[in-house]
Structure 1
Amino acid sequence: MTNPKNIENTQSPRISVAPMMDWTTRDYRFFARLFNPNIILYTEMVTTGAILFGDAARHLAYNPEEQPIVLQLGGSNPQDLARCSKMAEDWDYNEVNLNVGCPSDRVQNNKIGACLMAEPDLVAECIAAMRHAVDIPVTVKHRIGIDEMQSYEQMLHFVDTVAKTGCNNFIVHARIALLQGLSPKENRDVPPLRYDDVYRLKQDRPDLIIEINGGIKTLAETQQHLKQLDGVMIGREAYHNPYLLAELGQLWNLEAPDRFDIMAQMMPYIAKRLQEGAPLSIITRHILGLFQNLPGARKWRQALSGGNAKSLQDVEVALLNIQAAMQRTEDYLLDKQTP
């Protein structure tokens, strides 16, 4: 099949929202797309076992509006990864990504995620099988190191081994992962960021597409990284402060959308999901950060979180309340400026 939005044709630079378990669901991705047409969206990591032996449609289904979209796979069996990659292509995903960065115990026990950095030959075998199975791009997301494998030279060896398969796109989380002793949450914060290692990788391998991930929170930081690299992947900040995705539109000279216009597009989607039987709370949890740092943002979050919103009308009331709070603040500031 031919994808209507091929990532290879997406206007550079490559800016993406990181795959985040329980966060980058199809409801969040629909919401995120409303901010920016050029951002690349990733699914949560989906294991090969969940697709091959579970409800494949539940794991692979997405809204057409989400494209360009990448399916991130977790696994270490080349044949299983190849089969799932072909299924992704058949479902019109624009790209497939192999997770070599997740540090959780659950994925380690199944030989998935960051622990695979210790086996570059196996990763290369997996990527070769995936690339052979599909015509869409296959990419790798990995750490700069794990446990005792913390040197730049070891990361370079990993990348070079995988690149021999023809894979030319690497998304690098600029922290090591300590698989023994740190929780997954601590592995997102405790190991220091080593952006220079990612910059050096691009300098040493200029023909590869190198993207960076880890601790990036602003348009200015994104612009700084793009001076050295081909792309930037943003994680938790894109979730907690989704309007950042609109601000990133400046990279393509896009006009930032109005938050209330975004909600005007979101409301019919919420109504449709409710008709499908989805609980309101699993949708509203993704939009709590829409008015981050603006007047009324706290009451907006309170109104929609913890199951407080029972109906679509409750969401409409919350919108009216924050609109009124913002108007009161604007009127107050105007009064102060009046001589």
Structure 2
Amino acid sequence: MKVDLFDFDLPRECIAEHPADPRDSARMLDLTGGQMSDRIVRELPDMLRPGDLLISNDTRVIPARLFGKRGEAKIEVTLHKQEGLGQWRAFAKPAKKLRIGEIFKVNEAFEAEVMDKKDGGEVLLRFNVSGADLIAALEKYGVMPLPPYIRRDAGGDDQDRHDYQTIFARHDGAVAAPTAGLHFTPELLANLDARGIARRTITLHVGAGTFLPVKVDDTDDHKMHAEWGSISPEIAALINETRARGGRIVAVGTTSLRLLESAAREDGIVEPFENETSIFITPGYKFRGVDLLLTNFHLPRSTLFMLVSAFAGYDRMKAAYNHAIAQKYRFYSYGDCSLLECANQVEALKKS
């Protein structure tokens, strides 16, 4: 498909610089049941059914943006995928100042050797610490890797260390937040429980490439960055049991959806999963593992806008985004969200 089909104009004032406070006061565009209505996130329990299963991503964002030097040259790197013990793929700026075998030095105690270079400013770094020591060094010296459309000073904002982390965060490894999860509060979780909606988590360590605009002219030419994910046998069994008894699977965010679809068979059975996924979903894809999707509003020309267009229908999402812009919804990572119904299943119900 032509990437231009997924382009749209978004006024700068629609881009959220900070999250809603409280988080569940964010606006939510409801696109279920054939309607389009303006709601807020704390209404979510009333829009779901007892017996539904909410699946969230429990990855934890690490402060993956580092400022350092190669000699006297200043260099910024953003880690995006772990490759092994102490080794990470990263995007470097300016990458031309790093050569294989050279040292990227954050300070005297924390540095990395350049092991490899690829196109697009990507390098492979091997740090002088690993495991828990590397995470501790990143927590001490790193900055939260906010998307470039959120304006911050180079040193970052300490509040983002809290704001850019979901209530579900447990497992270190993401370099971008699973942003739909940012809307949840303890009160909202309690109301979901009281409504009889089950909740479980899976893990997808989100990479920086997930949120990048597509730079090719045709989707066939785009290559997704791989991300590591895990679905336990117990969670897979519960997902299948839920659907067998008529409950719906509600994915919190495109990251949860991508992992569920990576693990789902053609017949809709979700299997345990522990592997990398580079699944790229565009219109025409037949969804197997997810019934509803809670998701933020995404970048033009991005793989995520392509995904939601595949999930809810291209024309429907174009109309929804036009409505959201006209009604001044807040876009992107710290912005508002929408609740979408799978177009595949809507069509199946009409035919039944």
Point out the structure with the larger helix share: 1
Alignment TM-score > 0.5, same fold:
no
**More contact order relative to length (CA 8 Å, sep ≥ 6):** 2
TM-score normalised to the size of structure 1?
A: 0.29
TM-score normalised to the size of structure 2?
A: 0.28
Point out the structure with the larger strand share: 2
